Amino acid sequence: DVKVTQSSRYLVKRTGEKVFLECVQDMDHENMFWYRQDPGLGLRLIYFSYDVKMKEKGDIPEGYSVSREKKERFSLILESASTNQTSMYLCASSFGRYEAFFGQGTRLTVV
């Protein structure tokens, strides 16, 4: 079974902190994604990566950056956390035209 593991289920951070969300997949997938999910807005793509050290902006990249130094790991960085970044963050991976597999999600609260 494909496994996508996010480093934390719940996080509470203070405004202005630098926040790292880590995601690891174990199926050698080329594509990895970071989404945030908010009530009524669905899943919105923040960044995705189709190869090591490659990244593409999604629909809402402002305030975020990403890092992919190894194929299995994709990190989302909040440079200076703000309260409007309180959300559920979901990592996913995929290969080619096949389905994406998701992690269990990280619920981030910024206070």
Residues that bind another protein (CB under 8 A): 4, 31, 33, 35, 40-43, 45, 48, 50, 56, 58, 90, 92, 94, 96-105, 107
Q: Which is nearer to another protein, 102 or 110 (CB)?
A: 102
Contacts of 100 (CB under 8 A, 6+ apart): 31, 33, 92, 93, 94
- Write down the least CB distance from residue 99 to another protein, Å: 5
Q: Report CA 9 to chain centroid distance, whole Å.
A: 13
Q: Which is nearer to another protein, 54 or 80 (CB)?
A: 54
- Structure tokens belonging to residue 56: 């593409």
We find the least distance from the C-beta atom of residue 93 to another protein, in angstroms, to be 11
Question: 74 and 30 in contact (C-beta within 8 Å)?
Answer: no
